[in-house]
Chains A and B, each alone.
Chain A
Amino acid sequence: MEDEKEEINENPTTDASDDVDVDEFEDEETSRNLVVPGEILTEDTKNFLPGRGTIFNKDRTKIISLNIGLKQVRRNYINVIPLRGFYTPRPGDKIIALVTDKNPVKYICDINSKDKGILKPKNTVARGKPRRYRGGPPDRHDNNTDKYKIGDILIVKVLSADRLNKPELTTVGKYLGKRRDGLVITIDTPKIPRVIGRAGSMIKMLKNLTKSNIFVTQNGRIWLKGEDIAHERLLIDAIRKIEKEAHTVGLTDRMSIYIENEKKIRGMN
């Protein structure tokens, strides 16, 4: 029981530099031009190479887009920042998982991707944890799946993920583990960098103005907990607005004005 208490006291926060790369939507090199699948981005194949979300055509005379998104030219690479898409797990991602099933050897978690995540009991207990007293009992959760129940919400880290095998997860680490309170909402995965903003500017603004605790994860799920239900509602509305307007410019300034206005309208202080 004692180790569970420790987890509750750990306040989850988002360390932007740790979790997330730069906000590509607000980047100087990103144009506001929408491109669609099959659109020709350039015919100058001598000076440019296809980057993310782009491909050469068959005879390497053109670079074409694969996604609906925004065109970005970075050095000699042409990228497309997608506006729609799905989550593909990568090792090291911190994500929110929902325990959907368990058997004596593993938990099966929904991680908002094409595969279910696998959480083995040995990955739920820190390795080499000292016994409480000399000759005391070993950790009970090392060898069975009693620690979490079906329906629990966990913050986990992806240990391994590839195209063929199911991703393996762990709950050992900073900020990881079971969440007992707060709300979880899901947004479009490609718009997660926008919710965080450049160097975490958007998320800092949201936290300060709504006095809430937010944990944004790479699989499109956001854990949040505010002072009261009114602040949580305002925060959810704000996140939905960011999701909808992710491809516009000057979003951070507009969002702070929006939240201040909404606070006055809703009579919050």
Chain B
Amino acid sequence: MPLVIKDEYPEKLFRDDGKRLDGREKDELRPIKMEVGVLPNADGSAYLEWGNNKIYAAVYGPREVHPHHLSKPDRGILRVFYRMATFSVFERKRPAPGRREKEISMIISDCLKPVLFLELYPGTAFEIYINVLDADGGTRCACTTVAALALADAGIPMRSLVTAVAVGKIDGELVTDLSGIEDKAGEADLPCAITWFNEELSLLQFDGNTNLEEFSKSLSLAKDAMHKIYEIQLDALKKKYIEIQEEFNGGEKN
């Protein structure tokens, strides 16, 4: 007998004690773990665990563009390949890139472009390959965060890092960092990304119902969360080198 699992969501997204279903406060992030330099054959790479999301990103470049007709004579191009593994979601994900993959690849590319100096590398391509091994809501934000980290690890000149987080509304309350079930059953979802060199929004998508007051409130919630994630990004980037420095007691000169 085949196993039939119905797409059912719980009626209430808050527990009786006022916390969310996974035990978080309203403005609490899921546990985040980042690491850089995980793939030896890539120019730069990073790994991210964000709650149940598990994502690898690899950066190559600058290198020649294939197919060649995509290259631009006056600037380099940034190509992002966002892919989800077949086993990353509950029901098998068909491996061919669909509309959703192409859309997310495009928005990650557009969101990272302002921090790069593409005009210095005409006729070349920077390529980011992102693989989602395990997905549980908010992968586009997680992928943007990890892609920025991989770019920095590759030594590509950047104006700053990029950080992204999703905020939203569930059961009439504004919450930070929606998990998969809150994303589907909630009322509104607002993924946004920030470029730190000018503190401007680089990505802003919206899905659901809300009013203007709640919208600006959720943006300030997002900014608080982004500051927390940015600290983790910086730590992950520096950790690789600081560990070696400390091993040889070379933390401070003289």
Contact = CB atoms under 8 A, between A and B. Distances in A.
B159 A66 contact: yes
A75 interface: no
Contacts of A64: 159-160, 197
Contacts of A114: 61-64, 121, 124
Interface string A240-255: 0000110111100010
A58 B198 contact: yes
Contacts of B23: none
B204 interface: no
A36 interface: yes
A115 B157 CA distance: 18
B251 interface: yes
Contacts of A82: 155
Contacts of A86: 43, 62, 155-156
Q: How large is the interface on A (under 10, 10 to 19, 20 to 34, 35 or more residues)?
A: 20 to 34
Main secondary structure of the interface of A (DSSP, over half): loop
Interface in A24-42: 31-32, 34, 36-39
Interface in A19-69: 31-32, 34, 36-39, 53, 55, 57-58, 64, 66-68
Interface string B214-254: 00000000000000000000100110011011001011110
Contact of B234 (A32, A36, A53, A83): A36
A55 B152 contact: no
Interface in A229-269: 244-245, 247-250, 254
Given A86-B43, A163-B120, A68 B157 contact: no
B234 to A, nearest CB: 6
B191 interface: no
A37 B198 contact: no
B156 to A, nearest CB: 8
Nearest to A57: B197
B196 interface: yes
B244 A248 contact: yes
Interface in B124-157: 124, 152-157
A222 B46 CA distance: 28
B18 interface: no
A53 B63 CA distance: 21
A82 B154 CA distance: 11
Please classify how large the interface on chain B is, using the bins under 10, 10 to 19, 20 to 34, 35 or more: 35 or more
Contacts, number: 91
A201 B156 CA distance: 30
B158 interface: yes
Contacts of B156: 85-86
Interface in A153-174: 163-164
B158 A66 contact: yes
B97 interface: no
Contacts of B115: 37-38
B175 interface: no
B161 interface: yes
Contacts of A250: 248, 250
Contacts of B160: 37-38, 64
B44 interface: yes
B155 A67 contact: yes
B94 to A, nearest CB: 35
Interface of B: 43-44, 61-64, 115, 120-124, 152-161, 196-198, 234, 237-238, 241-242, 244-245, 248, 250-253
Given A57-B198, A64-B160, 12 more contacts: A36-B152, A38-B197, A68-B237, A83-B155, A84-B155, A86-B62, A86-B155, A86-B156, A164-B123, A244-B244, A245-B248, A247-B241
22 contacts: A32-B245, A32-B251, A37-B115, A37-B152, A37-B158, A37-B161, A38-B158, A38-B159, A38-B160, A57-B197, A64-B197, A68-B152, A68-B153, A68-B155, A68-B241, A84-B44, A114-B62, A245-B248, A247-B241, A249-B248, A249-B250, A250-B248
